[in-house]
Amino acid sequence: MTSDTDYVLGTHNEEIARLGLQHQVWRPHMLDAWARAGMTRGSRVVDFGAGPGYATCDAAEIVGARGQVTAIERSPHFLKFALQEIKRRNLSWINILESDLMADGLSLTGFDIAWCRWVASFVSSPSLLLKRIAASLRINGRLVLHEYLDYSTWCTIPNSPRRRR
């Protein structure tokens, strides 16, 4: 299978639109989690499984031109859409990597924040994904993870006064 045909919900234009709506619904929670993790001007952020780049562009607007956002995505169709948005919004500090998160050779280091949303439940090895994310972070870097694993809990930062259950 190619990287565009083996996505559970596809990568066609209707899926890009659906993901855009879903992004808008969950965006306030994402922005809150990013703020609590310390994402700010100048941060270096990596987006694991960036899809069509909605969160990637939001992160780039937060970190500004002094920061850096690296988006990793394997779907050429999603990346084409993301690149159009990046150009339209003049977010030149976004780096795009076309790569499968499960493929060998993915080597990233030194990021302040790693972001991963709705990816772990779709990859062949969630533990390998987490190892690669951990390797991408600098010492004391933060991971913000939003996943479809257990809706009964919501834990983002241990010992956080805003921790919810």
> Tokens at residue 26, please?
């969950």
pLDDT of residue 106: 85
The domain in which residue 132 lies consists of 13-146
Residue 153 included in any domain: no
Residue 57 included in any domain: yes
- Rounded to two decimals, the pTM is 0.87
Residue 162 included in any domain: no
Q: Band the pLDDT of 152: cuts 50, 70, 90.
A: low
Q: Report the distance separating Cα 163 and Cα 165, nearest Å.
A: 7
Which CATH number belongs to the domain containing residue 121 in this structure?
3.40.50.150
The total domain count for the chain is 1
Residues 83-138 pLDDT 10s? 999 999 999 999 999 999 999 888 899 999 999 999 998 899 999 999 999 999 99
Nearest to 47 by CA among 29, 68, 21, 22: 68
